[in-house]
Every structure is written in C-alpha cells, then in structure tokens.
Structure 1
Amino acid sequence: MKNKIIITNTYKLKAYFIVGFFCLYSINIFSQDQKISDSLKLVLKTKKYSKSEKLKTLREIAANETNTDEIIIYSNELIKNAKEVDSIKFVYAGHLQLGNAYRLKSDLTKALENYFIASKIAVDNNLFSEQGTIKITIADVYSILGDSKNAENYYKSSIQLLGERLKSKEVKYLDSINLASAQLNLGDEYYNQNKLDAALYHFNKSGKLFKATKYEIGVAYNLGNVGLVYAEKGENIVAEEKLNEAIKVLVANEDYYPICVYLNAIADIYYEKKQTKKALLYANRSIYLAKEYGLKEQIGDGYLKLSFIYEKEKNYKKSFELYKKHIVYRDSVKSVSGAQKIANEKSKYEITLANEKARFEVEKKQTEVDLLNEQKKTQNIIVIAVVIALILLGFLAFLLFRRNKFVVKTGKIIQKEKERSDILLKNILPDETAEELKEKGSVAAKRFNSVSVLFTDFKGFTQFSEGLSPEELVENIDFYFSNFDKIIEKYDLEKIKTVGDAYMCAGGLPFPTEDHSYKITLAALEIVDFVKKTMNTASLEKPKLDIRVGINTGSVVAGVVGTKKFAYDIWGDTVNVASRMESSGAVNRVNISESTYNLLKDKTEFKFEARGAIEAKGKGKIKMYFVDKVS
C-alpha cells in the first residue's frame, strides 16, 4: 500500500441536496439546476400566476438556483407569499432554502436560525418526513462546528425516524433519498473523526439506496466521499478514479460546492505522486469555481492548499502570500461563536420537542382505542378512501397535464429569446463573424490586402446640434444615417460604425471582392446626391447640412473587440488616410486618394479632378482627386 496522503485541511462535505419536502404528489429535492432556475425566472416575469402556482414556482427557483444571493432573494419572497395565504409547507420550504443559502455562504448563525424555525414548523404540524430531513441539516451544522457528539445524535435520530417512515410505506421515494443522505452524512462525520471503516460502512449503505432510487447527484456525492476515504487510506488509484467519476456527474448538474472539495483532494493525490504542476492546477481550479459561486469557505481552503504545496516546494514567499489570503477568507466567514450561541439555546428547544413527542404518543394510543370502537364503520371508510384516491389520481393527472404545458411553453419562450439574440448579434456583426463568435466564443483577427474605406462628416454639425434637444438631435442624425444605411446595403458594403456625426463603412470585407473601390465610389456619390436633395427640398423639415466624403484603398486588419457589447472594427494606415481624405476634402464633394484613383481611372463613368499633393494632418503631402459621375 502506498504512503498515506497528507491532507492539509479537513474536508467537511455534507449531502445538502437531501433537504427537501413533500407536498401533494410532488417531491422537491434540493439538487440545483441553474438552467431550470433561469427558465422559471423568465416565465415568472412574463406570466400571471394564481397564488398557489406562484408559490410552487418560487420554491422551484429557490431549489434549483446556484447563486446563493439569488436563493436568499427568492426564498424570502416565497416566505412572504406563503404567509399571506397561510401555507405552512411553503413557509417551511422558504426557511429551509434560506438555511441552505446561508450555509453555502458559511454564515452558520443565520443558517441555524432558519433551520430551527423550519424544524419547529415541522414538529408543530406533524410533518414527520420533514422532521427527518431537518434533523440532517441541523446535524450538518453541528458537524461544521466540530460538535461531533450532537452531529452523530441528530444523524442517528433522523435515520431512525426515516426508517420507521419507510416501514409504513409512506412517501417511499423521498424518504429513501433522505435516509440515504443521512447515512452518507453520518459516514462523512466518521470520516472527519478518521474512523475510516465506519465511514465506508455507512457510505456503502447510502450508495445502495441512491442507486436504487436512481438519484445521480446522490450517487456522485457517495462516489466523492468514498474517494476521500481511499485517499486517506493511501489507496490513490482507487481514490482518484472515484473522485473523477463524482466530478463528472456534478459538473453535468452544475453542482459546484462539492467539486471544490474533490478538486483539492485530487490535488493532494497528485502532490503525493510528485506531480506538482498537476496538483497546483487542480487546487487553482477549486479556487476559480469557489470564487465564481461565492463559496468563501472553499476559497479559503483552496488558498490553504496552494500555500501547503508551495511550502513543501520551499517557495516560502509564495506560500506566505497564499496563506495570508487564506486567513482573509477564513476570517470573513461568520464567527462560529455566533452559531454556537444558537446551539446553546437548543436545550430549551429539545424540551419542547420532548413534550411534543409525549403528547403525540398519548394521542396515538387514544386513536388506537377509537379505531377499535369504530370497527363497524370500516367498510364505509374503505369506500370513502377509494373515492378519495380516485379523485386524487384525477387531480394528479390534471397537474401532470398542466406541468407538461408549462414545460412546452417555457421551451418556446427560450427558443424565441435565442432567435432574438441571433438577430441582434447579426445586426451588430457580419454574418460570418457572428457565426464564428457563437461557435468559438471569440473571433480571430483577419488581414485583408485590398479594402476601400469611406468616411463622411457633416460640416458645422457641432454648432448646429447645440440648439437642439437630445431627442431632436438623435432624430435628425438618424434621418441621415438610416438613408446612408440603405445606400451602402444597395452596394453590398459593410457598415463599420458611427461616431457622433461621422459615418464609416468599407468594401471588400468580410468577403474579398474585386470591385469594392467601384461600388464604394458609387455609394459615396449617391450619399452626396441625397444630402444635396435634402438641402434643396424646402418642404422637408430636416436640417440642411453640407457633407464631406473621403475614400482610400489599401490593406486593413479586421476583427471583434471587447467581451461585452461586441464591436466589429478595422485598423491600419488605410483607415487613417481615408479619414484624412474626408477632412481634407470639400463640402458636397467626394475626395479620393491616389490608390483609389489608380483602381478607378479606367472607369468611363467617372470623371476626375486632380488636386495635386495636399498637406494632410499627420500624413504630410498626399495626392488627392475629386471624383464625379459623367453626366
């Protein structure tokens, strides 16, 4: 057997997905699925719900959301709405999800507050299955606090209660999962006490139950925890295999909290194999995921892991820097003492539980006596039960039908939003570039050897705009640019951008063409004609502006800049010279460079006016030509 791996921090991982609740023909397990949460949020904004439907939707969002701050928002909204209609189970669900969120944020004080509220609701309303699950969550927190005795007692109490529920054949699927979770977490508690054989015993029990119910998240947690035990035993090959199997399932289900723990465990395994680079890679992956999902405790653990590795590699400076980061995140986690204060209040609470249990036993005995006295009514009770069962089955069928319609409608909304996004993207970028961005997530810059670039600018626009309101300014500039858009679309040119009253387009990209200089010159002349006609149309209530147009031809580099609000742009000296052609031109004339002239000089439909070499700002003297169409 290989040497035992040195574990640099205690992995405390609980199967927090078990905390669910049962309502009429609906089981809701706390296994997060961000895609479901996002689609339900979208539908919640666009659909008017009845009060009961809204409660179910809020519960589903809180249960599937992976962002802890969002869980808190939707859980509070669930509690508020549930209290308005006096729905006990939904109030319970809200406090349960709040506790889960604060626990993920390592705010154990608030987590316990909400778990104890949920527990009291379950006891006061004889919600036996819920009592079993909430015991597990409270035990989890005791385990995190290091109170192993109370943690074991609560786990065992939950196992006993849920085991009795299964014997009565009530709600068997939900209770099977919750019982498996209690076994898993008790095994985890023994693992933390280094009682490895006891831990494997309970993991084997939980694994069989999860497989029997086909609950893949539970199977993943079980595999991961078994992997941690084998890592502690020094059986690295088996440990790595189990941990990687667990991570694969958890990634598919977007359940990131345990992945951080398992990644750190794999980092230990690779360091033990003397593969330091791989160990650092897995530890850094753990920190990246923890930061992305706001898991403070896991961020701190990740930095501690890196600090340990660098210390062993004798890079003490780096190790110390990382250890300081660990301390910062460790101290940002809510003080354990606050949580312990709540734990100290448990004695009063446990007395209340004991009284409730005694009262329940008395009532149970009285019920047995009453049933003996009512034997003659058994037949009627059976008939009533059958009728009720048929009604409930019909109601279940109706709910399933409604659920199916809801899923179909949600799918259509998502598809519609995707189509809108595609249309918007193609309005911003060329089709080819938009497709590349969607497929690869980025766009490679490309060089085009021959492209014609056009710039326009209105004379005196700044002074003109000072006398307009913002609405009038946008309306007037939109009038001109919308018509310019139609013109360049007519000649298959590519609009690049507008800056203030300047308009820029290009020909010969994103698909190279031979006649780009010819087409862009025709477009430029048509733009000038449009501006002139606007000036001469007295009845048109639009500003009468003069325009300068410049064109240059040469090589450019084109690509997409930014990661948000993508913009397709071009760069190079060709662009700068084109801008100088515009600024060095005359109003209502098209001014072209020598390179563009050389491509057009043989076109009989154009006539040219040589301007000689004219000084262009920042470029020295450049040969320029005015171009017009032959009448």
Structure 2
Amino acid sequence: MAIAKTLGRKISAVLAPGVKRAYLLLILILGLTQAMQAADPPVDSLRTILETAKSDTLRLRTLLELSTLTFRSDPNAAIAYAESARQLAGKLDDQTSLAYALKNIGLAYYIKGDYFEVLENWQRSLEIFEAIDDRLGISNLTSNVGAVYFNQGDDPKALEYYLRSLQVSEQINDSLRIATALNNIGAVYFNNKNTHDRALDYYLRALSISERVNDLEAIGTSAVNLGEIYQDKRDFERAIFYFEKALAAYEQSGGNAPYALYNLGKTYAAKGEYRKSLEYHRRAYTVAAGREARLEMATALVGTGQTQLLSQQIEQAAETFKRALSLAREVGSLVRMKDAYEGLTEAYARQADYQEAFRYQSLLNSIRDTLYTIEKDNRIQSLQFKFDIEKKENQIAMLNIDNALKEVQIQRAFTVRNLLYALALFLICTVAGVFYQYWFAKKSNRLIQKERNRSERILLNILPSDTAEELKQNGFVKAKRYERATVLFTDFKRFTEFAEHYPPTELVKSLDFYFRAFDEITSQYELEKIKTIGDSYMCVGGLPVINDTNPADAIYAAFEMAEFVRSVKIEQPEGIIPFEMRVGLSTGPVVAGVVGTKKFQYDIWGPTVNIASRMETCSEPGRINISAFTYELIRNQFACTYRGVIEAKNGEQLKMYFVDRPLVENPEVAGVF
C-alpha cells in the first residue's frame, strides 16, 4: 500500500507498508512441506551418508535432501549442495532431479533476496518440468515464479502464473497446491480495495483447506493474509487473532515468523500501543537477521521506524529508516526503498530539517521525462558555452605566447608545435563530445516521444478523446453537466453463484467474451462506456457529444446486448458460461468528470445514475426496464408495458416500463426482436 509522497505528512500505522500479501507463499509451494512436517533427518547424518555413498543415485538424493533442509538456515550451503546435485543429475541424465536441483538453487537465492538468480533458475526448472510433463512440478514452479513477480509489483504477470498454477493443481487434485493458488490469487485481489471481499473469500477457502491437510506453512500463510484483510478494515481484534494464529504455525514449522511479528507490530501501532508494537518489530528483525534474510530485515526496520515516528521518537526513526534504506538497496527492493524515503522525509520534516526532507522527497519524484529533456538541452548548451569560452582563452594564450617567442626565437617553433598539438586534440575531443551529447539527446528524445505516444494511446482507452485532450492541455478536467443523457446498466443473474462453481479462468474468459461484444455494440450506437464493476456493465448516451437520439440509441443497444446474450445461451460457445442478463435504463441530467491523479477514471454522477441502477435491479432476465423519464421520450418509437412503481432511496415513487419492441423497425437491429 502506497503512502502519499507529501513532504511532512504524518505516516499512519494502519497504512504502514508491509511486504506484499503472500510474501513467502513459495515456501508453501516448493514441494517441501510434507518433509518439513515430519521429523527432519539430522543434517550431520546426511553429510556422513554423502561422504560414504558409493552410488551416484544415492549421492544425488542426499544432495537434494541437504539443499532442502538447509535453504533457510544456511542458503549458501544449500546453493552448494543443489549445484552439486545439478551437475550430478546432468551426468546421470536425470531430468526430474535436475529440475528439482534448479528449483532448490532458486529457493536459496530467494531467501538471500537475489531475485535475478531466482527467476533464472526457476524458469529453467519450469522448462524441464514442462518438457517431461510433470504437472506437480509445473504447478509448483508457476506458483513460485508468480510470487517473484508479485513481490516485484507486477500483478498482471503474477496473476497469469497463479491462475495457471490453480488450473494444474485442480487437474491433479492436489489440495495443498490448490490452497496455495487460492492464497496467491487472493493476494492479487487484495491489492485493489474494490476486490477486498473477493480476496477475503479466497483466503478463507485457502485456510480451510490448509487446516484440513494440517500443513503449518499453509496455515500460517492463509492466516497472515486474513489478518491483513481485517487490518485494512481496521478490525484490529480479528487481525491480531489471525496474526497470532500465523505466528504459532510459523514458529512450529520454522516458517516466516518475522512477517507475522511485523504485522502484529503494525496492528498494535494502529491501536496506539506503541511499546508493544516496537517489541514485535524488534523480534521480527532479530529473527530475520539470524537467517540473513535482508528483505525481511528491511521490512522490520521500516515498521520500527514508522512506530517511532508515531511515538515521537523522531531522531531514532531517522536512523532506523537509513538502516532500512541500506538493506533495501542491497536487495534491490524498490518498495522498501520507497518506504524508507517516505519515512526519512517525514522524520526530517518534523525536525525542521527541510533541506534533508526535500532531498529525500526529491528522490521519490526524480524521474520525469520533461525534466530529463530540459536537463539534456541545458547540458548541450552548457557544453557549447564552455567550448566557446575555452576557445577564446586559448586564442589569448596563443597571442601571449607569440609575443614571448619574439624574444626567444629558439623556443618558438617547439612551443608553437606543442601548443597546436594540444589545441587540436582539445578541439577534437570537445567537438566529439558536443556531437555525442547531441546524438544522445536526439536518441533520448525519440525514446521519450515513443513513450509519450504509447501513453496517449493508453489515455484514449481510458477517457473520451475530448476529455483526454482537455486533460493534456490543462492538467485537469472540469466537471460538465449534461441535461439529457441516458444511462444503461446490465447485470448477469446469479453471477455470484456461478463464481463459486466455475474456475476463475473460465469466469474471466466469459466476462471478457461478453464485454467485448458490448463494447462493439456501444460504439455502434455512439454510447460511451463508463466502466465495468464485477459482472455489471455501465455505459451512457448523450455525452461527451450531445445529441437528442440517446434514449432510442441506448434502447436499441440494449436490445442487441440482450439478443447477443440469448444467442450465446443457444449456441453454447466452448468455454463460455451462458448467463442471463437484466438491463435497466433512465434518462436525465448527469455530471461527468475525471477523478484520481495516479489512475484516471472517467465517471458520471447524479440521480439519473441511481435510477438507472434501480431499473436494472428491478428488471427481469432478458428484459429491458426503463424509467418514466425515458418512457416519455421514446413512447412514440417503442411499444412498452407499464409495470407499476418502486420506491427510490429518497422515498420518491418511480414508474417502470418494460420495452417490448420498436414501433418503427430500425434497419440496424432488424430481426433482433
């Protein structure tokens, strides 16, 4: 969760950033859990077996087991064991063992925080599992790779791997891996506040399965994720309940206890119990330091610093954030670096050291393409100015030398020759430097222009063209009132029930199938798509370009949408869920504008929107329900059936009508009815 990058703004304990949900979910999915639940064979005994083993097969199994048992306590030793196993597996042409050796190497690097090595080894391991069609290994590694992308902030890429892992886990009916995939998918949904309830559902399902198979790592991960949900809801007692459940499980399994401790510290800080909060954060740091887990150490230090800020220990907080920043830089964690910069900005601002506060604030906003262009132009101009000054000074120096050489003829030729050589070399270097800076600036400008064009295309996918142009010119968009617009809502009947019984991949594929068709229909009738909310689709006619035909346009579009949904139910395309759909419309004044600064959202507001939503809720599958406002405008174009009245939230009685058919056939929708 991001903290506002405002100089001197107080950092809230509740919003204090933690490691992403499912921070060490891969421990759950590495295929090692069952071995950890049983009594681990002593490492010394395995080393003895390794020294005396005569069979290469026995040596290979022993090396893999040693790397499995030491990846937490001694990741460097685990890498050495797994590397030896990799070489021996290659010699024996044992592809399965080779894949597991690469996986164990990646796991040890994950504990060390070296994500580049992690991905390299896990991608190679996944390729081998795919080549030998080892579905257990595929499920395992896709979840692992997804977790790395997740911790680096690439949610779409992470979700792609998580969904694939869930699909394969369900195919092989592996309860533990199903629980893992549910946890991971829930973690992605947690990143969006609008989908927190969906994340909660996934986490609860994951915890239920984890407790059924009695896997401590899985229980700990599911519980800590649930704790974060309730922490975000500010239900601190439930959050503490689940974090303590996670801590108990992790302490028994040797799992990620620092993260559970960190969250307990964050929760107590939010409750105002700062001393208890600091105790938990320091315990988290101690445990992480014992494992040389630098990312977890940095996270614990960030939590400590934030609590120190809240308890007015400002100087101590600044030192703590500096330690966190150093560790974050070592492991390349941009999230932790951001947290440390924000904490240092806050700490120095409170000490009235605005120079330092501004320096750290600037680090958060240092990359701006316009500044980059200006900087390059200034560098070129500065270089040219320096060249002209130095050239003039050299000319003066040459004149002085000529005057001196008149008195010393013997030295003249020697001095002039050396001077000319030096000047020529200087001119060559200077001119070359100018041309290089010019070439580099030109290349950089091309790249910047390419990114600008790409950003503009993305902006036009989010906002209407007129609105996007206003935003680019002014930096903001003024809200506009439209006196007559028609708002259309659709919703799929029993969608929640379908979501519980169909795989997520099939559900998302089906929604995409329907909404793509709706997008084409709305474009055909010059309607503006506003947004989709779960299974609901919202569009509006009559803006941003004002017209008088939007009520009829919206109804024709609604008929086409309804016909498309009916055709899907009849034709049953493969992999597409046949839904039933309700449609509701209302016409009247709305206000349209853009909200947000980091993620723009074009939206509309007003009673008309609420009435249209109410019309959809009171509609029936396959029918189009309109308000009296719309009916009065289209009564001469469509045959309608009066349905009675419903009560709005403000107590107003709203008349409703079903639209049965058009009175005058529209060639665009001929045959639809």
TM-score (norm 1): 0.39
Point out the structure with max Rg over C-alpha: 1
